[in-house]
Amino acid sequence: MEQLSQVFLEFIANWGYVAVALLMAMENACIPIPSELILGFAGYLIFADQMSFGGALIAGMIGGMLGSVFAWWVGHAKGRRFVDRYGKYFFIKKSHVDMAQNWFDKYGLKAVFFSRMLPVIRTFISLPAGFAHVSLKPFLFYTFIGSLPWTALILWAGMMLGEGWKLLTEIGHEASIVFVIVCAVVILILYLRHQKKKRVK
């Protein structure tokens, strides 16, 4: 994995935004390439004035959305049996798909939003959404609003850490869990305030 990581980093260094988009598409198409590696290094390149934050964010989002749609289509058109049978050839572990499936079964379409910020699940959540034949339009909406803050956060963290960006690959999972908790608390506070205003009216 370390050798592959070096190949990915060289690819990003040489091809810039195109590489970020392609690798993020692969990650969201269920090929296990850590987004902390891709976006963390892109953040470092922003720090080094070799990329712009806006350009990297757009590239990461385009790639992530395209990869997610592809995984959704595979789940929608081919089904769980196909993924279980052929997924191993693309480094897709059945246990990871099971984890995403359990999350989707428990929370439904909302899982597509929150799981975009969770380790492992974010890579595979598009499959059970496809298995369930979720319509493309709401799937795209929840994927976008879930992916945008995560993509921006990792880019920003890589930029802030500068030459120490590799720390993200070590603590990325823990950081993502904290981020989800913070987002959940913020959403709850906003919801409670909204309900309070409705009662006042």
Q: pLDDT by residue (tens digit) across 27-48?
A: 999 887 888 889 999 999 999 9
Query: Which tens digit of pLDDT belongs to each residue from 123-134?
Result: 899 999 999 999
2 vs 13: which has the higher pLDDT: 13
Instruction: Provide the token pair at 102.
Output: 């359990």
pTM tops 0.85, yes or no? no
Helix then strand count (H, E) for the chain reads: 10, 0
71 within 8 A of 127, measured Cβ to Cβ:
yes
Q: Tell me whether residue 127 is exposed, middle or buried, using C-beta atoms within 10 angstroms of its C-beta: 0 to 12, 13 to 18, 19 or more.
A: buried
Q: What is the mean pLDDT of residues 112-116?
A: 82
